[in-house]
Structure 1
Amino acid sequence: MILKLVIHFIILVIWFIHVQVSAQDYPQVLAKPGCDSQCGDIAIPFPFGMNTSECYAGKWFEIECGNTSTYQKPYLKSIGVQVRFIDVQQGTVTVNNPIDRNNCGSKDSRPVNQSLEGSPFVYSQEHNKFVAVGCNIITFLQVNGSEGSGCVSICDEDFKVDDIGKMELENSDCNGKSCCQNSLPPYLKEYSTEVKGFKENETDGECSYAMVVQQVGLYSYYTPKGYYFPVNGEMKDVDVVPVVLEWEIPNNLNLKLPPDDLSHCFDTNITSSRYNRSGQRCSCTYGSNPYVEGGCSDYYESSRNSLSHVTISIIKGVSISFGSIILLLLILWRVFKVIKTTIVKKHRENFFKRNGGLLLQQKLSSGEVNMDKVKLFSLKELEKATDNFNTNRVLGKGGQATVYKGMLIDGTIIAVKKFKVQGKIEEFINEFVILSQINHRNVVKLLGSCLETKIPLLVYEFIPNGNLFEYLHQQNEDMPLTWDMRLRIAIEVAGALFYLHSAASQPIYHKDIKSTNILLDEKYRAKVADFGTSRMISIDVTHLTTVVQGTFGYLDPEFFQTSQFTEKSDVYSFGVVLVELLTGQKPITLRSQEEAKSLASYFIMSVEENCVFDIIDERVMKEGEKYHIMKVVNLASQCLELNGKRRPTMREITLELEGIRKLEKDSNAQEGHGDFVRSEDYESLDDNSIISEIMSTFELRSRTTILKDDHVVTM
């Protein structure tokens, strides 16, 4: 009898292992009853469907299954594109998208880009990239006649023109050498492309390609993150590439969804920036299709059903003894409790590992992360704070993450950064480690993180007045950006960078300084943000060799040429921000229909031609003295030197700006305009307060280092 119980217990263990291995094998309910769910080898889940209107949710979701001599191809009938894959849980459909060719002989005809206007579809900003292939070109993705994105592609001197057509996009990093890439603007429904050479007639006779294409993320716990473009073959032979469209159920469809406790529906604004709610989407806790009755399943209920079948088999085997049946039932009940607890624990462990928990533990044990400054938030706490990540709480969206506004139980206002894909784990860990080391009033403060979700979360202090780019280029008369405020913001950003370069526990290169990454708090004080691509380096290291990446218009030309990022690369980007504050102009502008100019080069040209005051903002010219403005102009020119060694350090820049502002205050005081220096809407800082605070931190660190060195010598 005992032997029988042992045998049946082994059977239960084997069944448990099977349950663990097949935990993701849920029932695949795709289409409505009586409707086809397959076209060729492509699954067609509802709300998409074929044949009759009962099988799909409105004309936009109708699939036409075309027959060829060898196989069937599904087409999205409303926009006439071939469908490659439909993901109901993610709300995406992958389709074929044509390539724009230029100077490519018989294949030079540009396809007409299909408009998605009025449809529930939009080109996915998260899953796609704008890619250009060619030599010494700047390529623009245009939306309604203006530039929505763009990138620069250069070639080595020994690179042959024919090599462009032979290049395979799947094996290319597209980092700016013969191929470049950039993110798409949000809510993109229609676009065109434009290719220009660096010089007039430079690209005549040379073939180039421009396209919107799917980018797939690769991630391993043991190797760095990577991406690839799922395009097979050489460029000259490729006519279409995969592109991902996001979709939602439009409000005007009035689709009646089946009642299901295991599905969750939520409002969305995927296709319209003008409305907080342009549609809705649903998802299953477990299962395949929340839009079809029975499409979601209860994993634990399925586990219990499987357990019941095993129980029946075991009871038949030991039915000889009533006592053994009772004992077996008790064992089964205990095993079931253990299984359920183990499954829940396994889910949490998987989320912890997937979100970089092991790497974070390594950082904690090495002392790289100061846990006294940050808190681990529970998912329940953050869901309550953000109203379950309501779309109305979105503060901003980017290619990597979405930021939500929230309020904790104690009334603290927070900003929650939710990374979009699992491939961004390194950015999450990198930003967490770096911000946990920083303690500076002009750097956004990290409050904590959450590791209990599929996607990692970071929690910051809430910065209420948006970013400098919006405030500078969308000014209002209620709170204008005065000359004094611009000087103060420049000093605060410079002081923060000086702190990162010189006074932090280890030097930190920000690597993405731009006006959109400079936030303004309730008193319009600057806060440097977004450290996802930043790097912490050893004190004796002078540069960081890395793949060229950054924002067009702010990117250091020397870094672009050498792939070596130094502290002077941050200085160049700061110089562009300083020019933005002086001129009120955007970093990239079109001076004419034929010529694209960066603000940095336009500014340097104006300085060399002694006409720089022609491009300075009117308010700056009105409120500032020319002598003081010219000192800032000269400082910006030094920051934008092409040779990084000639650029000043952030310490020298901070001292210079502090000196200019002191002169400005003294001048205003002599003229009796003391009320202009301080505003009720923001708080000015005492003279030399930023540089004094940083220098005291730096000297403390230096003394500590000297003591350590003396100790080593004594030993």
Structure 2
Amino acid sequence: MASWPAHLFLLLLCLVLLAGEATPQTAPPPSVDNSADKWARPGCRSKCGNVIIPYPFGIHNDSDPNSNCSRTPDFEINCTSDGTPYLGLGGNIEVVNIELLQGLLVVNHYIARDCYFQNGSRSKSNGASTNIIGLPNYKFSSDRNKFVAVGCDARGDIWSNRVSTFHTGCSSYCTNASFVPNGTCSGIGCCTTPIPMDLRNFSMIVYSYHNHSHCSFALCSYAFLADVDKLNFNLSSFTEYETREMAPLTLDWAIMGKTCEQANGTGDFACVSPNSFCWNSTNGPGYLCNCSEGFQGNPYLNDSINGCSDIDECSADKSPCVKWCHNREGSYYCSCPWYMYGDGRRDGSGCTSILRILYLSLGVGLSLFFLIAIGSLLYWIYKKRKLEELKQHFFEKNGGSLRPDIRLFSSEELEAASDNYNQTRILGEGGTGTVYRGVLPDQNLIAIKKAKISNDEAEVQQFINEVEVLSRINHRNVVKLLGCCLETQVPMLVYEFVPNGTLAHHVHGEGRRGSLSLEARLRISSEVAGSLSYLHSAASTPVIHRDVKTTNILLDHNLTAKVSDFGASRLVPLDQNGLVSLIRGTFGYLDPEYFQTGEFTDKSDVYSFGVVLVELLTGKKPVAKMQAVKNLATLFMECVNSGRLVEILEQRVVDEGTPELLDAAAELAMKCLSLNSHDRPLMREVAMELEALTRRTRIHPWGNVNVEEGDSLLSKVGSSSPSVLRDYVNSSIEPMVPFEIVR
């Protein structure tokens, strides 16, 4: 009697043989990527309303008539403001759909009608119609369209005599509604007749033999050219066409003028994509393009991405192979495992099992399999438990038990949102971490601040401090903290996504110099000042930012300012005026008094803001080599005190500002940059002054402003003279020694 391993071997062998038998199947056709952007010419609009506009068609651009979004003017699409596409710039042919690879264009077309009252008198009629396509690349499709007449006493005729004469028509009768068949157009209530090829224009007429006197339920006759695939005639069609003005018909289009043989090799050949081929139109002269077998895309685009690209037949949901699929350029091949034979194709012989598994190897293999499976399961459980313990450790270490009431993201959520922190998602990098753009499952954009791995507890504390500060702040000009992740070695912060980059990029970025108007600069500075005023005096617990600079000011799509990066910020108890700490900040923005004493107050933010205001007025970086090594604040104060203010201002600021306005803005900056913190204004005073200056730029964007309008709000508080030159001409300023503060 055979032992139990022999029985087990036979049972498993049968299962292997049964599982290995493959029934040949037809391979599913490769899907086509129909995303709109893939079909339009790069840089051109790809949709008008819900209609995809593929090249050689293109949407006309009124602001740039030479944009070349279409191959020729005949292929231009006029997209109206309500999102309706029309063929040609001045055309009235509404486009419904463009079938690029089939050379078809579905458009809406007028219906001719002839209606009567029950007494037999005519109620309304536009029974005659002439239809002409004035563009040379289009013809009425003889394969898809037929001439249709609808009615119970209707005669429709269609003819053309512009190129070659043809005349045809059909008649439709019915006396009882119950006789009308649904879904067919066979002569009872509806009739059709074909049209010839190469038809570019036609005239049609519809009329009644007996004025519908014997048909009370259908008192109108209709005639039109229609795509029969979209025609679904039934009894309700009699009333439907009473209010319906248009019916869809299909046009054949082609690249006119030449055949494939004549056009190939010329500079105007349309099939420019590699792996494309040309085929002659079946409806008159002209040719069309398509991708070769195994490729998909737009054959009219010479682009490796949007043109004809390789189809990956081995994708999981459409693999044509039974077992293993190997993609090739324009094709694929299949293979079978070592214990099977055949061509591996579903539409071929498939893969068939063979007997190659020996008795002993099967028993040993099964034993090893179970041992490995059990060991792998136990190891997975162990690793998962250790990972959960590590996450809990990091959660407690990063202040999870004392966290503010904000959303907690898991590390898996943020990895998925940032595509596993893909390098292409980086928005910015700093000394302590990197900011990534993320997309949540609900498609909302976020910014993820991921710290660099470090054993420095101070950096971890800096992230925790930013959570604590931002959780207490709710201001339109302060970047909003959406949540954080505390289960990683270093906590990660999640902010609202601010799409327009930093203020520094708009002021100093390559190609951006002079891109901001004076009004925008003053408005942005007013918004920043307002947010700092809120932090200093309106927040539940006052906050000192400690690192105000243009790289920490973000701009949204409306160029609205958002103050960010509160890692160095501190909450100040209401009974204290300042705090003492190690020097933290950025060279060029740092308050000299704070640098000397180590004590920072809200006036330290005022000084840093003054440097930001000077950056906006001059367009210069806070530290630059000009004659000698000086920072921008020192250089600006020297220019003002020596009466050379205009020399340091950016040209656009000078061009758009009045002398009084520029004098007031410079005076405000000088007050903020005072070396003695007691001489600097409060941020709320700065915000009020900038709001007033911003209003003046809106009221007087180019003209002069009288002295009464130009009075400085701050001059009424702490200055007797509105002139920057007179206030500071006698002040002595010590040049600051350059230094570097590493954050």
What TM-score, normalized to structure 2? 0.42
What TM-score, normalized to structure 1? 0.44
Point out the structure with max Rg over C-alpha. 2
